[in-house]
A and B are shown apart, each in its own frame.
Chain A
Amino acid sequence: MNSIDSHLPFLIMSALTLGSALVVVRVRNIVHAGFWLLPCFLGVAGLYALLQAHFFVVVQVLIYVGAILVLMLFALMLTQDVMNPNKPQTNRMSLPIGVFCIVFAAGVAAILTGHQWVNSNAVILPANVQTRQLGQALIGEYALPFEIASVLLLAALVGAIVLAKSEKEPAPLPLPTLAALPDSKPE
């Protein structure tokens, strides 16, 4: 009984996360699916809080809820015809895939919960110390990943520019054949 009590916050948060994740997968209206991601991400943030990863609680809310979810909802609004909830939203393979995945999940969960952890006496540091250490590691031991992550962001940025560039921009060397492209987009 005592154990259940002390596990209560964990149980609530995991129920919130898994429940809303299931709704995301099951719901027909995809805008609703987008909104159901919100409690799911917040549930994960709650789990981070239980794990005393304070910095990541904030980051989870800022990045996943603040940036990623908003971007997705934007994309949903921009591609309107798919918002019609009467169109089938799943493909024909749902059942076998579902069965396969449930077996997969059972296997993974069984193995993971049964894993024999090496006993470690790790001390959980208070939030301010932990975050300071994280920042120092980021410019110390993990300086290279940090830098190459910026290269990755540069690649993503260039990519986004390429994707967003209007096709109406005149080609620098207007070739006569360009106009004759059969599948050029009429816009």
Chain B
Amino acid sequence: MNGVNISEDLYQILPLIVLWGAACVILMGDVILWKRSRGITAFLSLASCLVAMWLVLQRVVSGDNTSAFHDSILNDPLALITTIALLVTASLSILLAWSYLKNRGMNHGEYYVLLILSVTGAMLMASANDLIILFIGLEILSFSLYILAGFSRNEVKSQESSLKYFLLGAFASAFLLYGIAMIYGGTGSINFDVIAKEIQGATAPNPMLMIGIALLLVGLGFKAAVIPFHQWTPDVYEGAPTSVTAYMAGAAKIGAFAAILRVFNTLMPFHEFWVPAIYIIAVLTMVFGNLLAITQTNVKRMLAYSSIAHAGYLLVAVVSMVTSNVTAHDQAIEGALFYLFAYIFMTIGAFGVLVYLSSHDKDYQTFDDIRGLARRHPLPAYLMMFFMLSLGGIPPTMGFVGKWLIFIAAIHSGQVGLAIVMALVSVAAVYYYLKVVWMMCFEAPTKAPSDIPANGFPALLSVTFCAIATVIFGVLPDLMINITGLIR
């Protein structure tokens, strides 16, 4: 719009600039100034995330809703709320990594730099109003995650997960890009506003646009880990260091769903074309995500499948977005945003307990590790139990409220079949979450009760915060709905 007024444009991306500046300072300072004393590095990264979050919150309160950089960035409520979710994820993950990295012998300052850079990538995805920005943001996020997944260089498993993630990720990026190329060919633009204008009044996409949408769905579906593009998820989640898994499970999914919501909101006129596709993917994801989770014997893998299943619930919200009823449309987006928050608190909390328990030489992750945990370490065990109940969607937790909101939205927009499938699989899913609880509380420990959780205060703080948030927003969902309701 006004390329002259560059300061206004820069103001719009101020949180990003803060984080980029912090990343550079940390990168250099870690080597030159404070000589790799990691407390400072971790503290500074956390502080920069909190400052950025404060800036975003200010913008939410002031309620200005402007685009910048020739309409390629749009800071609407949807973008701001997902950005907050991303920054919360990043802050919690930094706390989790604080002593975990030290204990596992991979305490390099680059970890925090990559984490901050990747969260800026996801933030760009969230506020992108342009397929270029969307794509570059996605790549910033992915590159950092490829490296973070292989960060534990003593472990072959970690490196393999990095390689797998990289190869499949690059493959998916190629699909995404080809999708963008086709959309460009079909509409003559890569800007969402122009595309929306271009397709106004049309009811069916031209063939080229059709391929474009399908390929874009493949690329984004890969990032969001939905079936059938999920093959990398369990492997990467299991192989990556647990603190990275926690972060990846949160950030990648939020970024991908922010992009999915934006893209398919733009492509609303063609809903007859893409709704069936997402409908099928949603059903597959919910059903098989939960079924495969039941057979796992490793908590990290089980949580990976559970995160796939949760992506399915979010897709239900995406489908419910399609309705002539404006209230139901907003309700669906609100439900999706609420669920994203619920998802990050529950998932980071659950992975966080594993991080907290991991010792110097071993990651906590198999069922044997957690058997009888309640007797050895009551506090983390009860926190874990709590997250499991929330993931399973037992009332008064945030997980229940999130599912309920999406369920209601689906009913209101006429997707009764999808709502029923969702309810049924959620009930089935309770089984494997409760299995973990049972194992922790009622089975005899298979390990000597000698190991003391090594990862100390910051990790515990992060986990406790997740637990408190899960309860508070579970009991008083209005607090969160007031925020997510800003999209109206």
Chain A interface (Cβ within 8 Å of chain B)?
108, 111-112, 114-116, 118, 140-145, 148-149, 151-152, 154-156, 158-159, 161-163, 165, 167, 171-173, 175, 177-178, 180-185
Contact = CB atoms under 8 A, between A and B. Distances in A.
A163 B360 contact: no
B140 A173 contact: no
Given A111-B208, A151-B120, 20 more contacts: A112-B211, A115-B185, A116-B206, A118-B188, A141-B70, A142-B132, A144-B13, A144-B68, A148-B137, A152-B139, A155-B118, A155-B140, A158-B113, A159-B147, A162-B108, A171-B105, A175-B360, A181-B105, A184-B154, A185-B153
B208 A158 contact: no
A163 B118 CA distance: 17
A162 B38 CA distance: 16
A178 B103 CA distance: 9
Contact of A177 (B73, B120, B360): B360
A133 to B, nearest CB: 15
Contact of B110 (A116, A162, A167, A175): A162
B72 interface: yes
A115 B102 CA distance: 57
Given A145-B132, A159-B144, A183 B153 contact: no
Given A151-B20, A155-B144, A162-B151, A177 B361 contact: yes
A177 to B, nearest CB: 4
Contact of B207 (A115, A144, A149, A165): A115
B114 A159 contact: yes
A115 B103 CA distance: 59
Contact of A162 (B9, B114, B155, B156): B114
B124 interface: yes
B472 interface: no
A40 to B, nearest CB: 15
B27 interface: yes
Interface string B115-148: 0011011001000001011001101100110110
A145 B120 contact: no
Contacts of B108: 162, 165
B274 interface: no
A144 B110 contact: no
Contacts of A172: 36, 38, 107
B150 interface: yes
12 contacts: A114-B207, A144-B68, A145-B133, A149-B136, A152-B121, A152-B140, A154-B23, A158-B113, A159-B146, A161-B110, A177-B361, A183-B155
Contact of B154 (A118, A161, A163, A181): A181
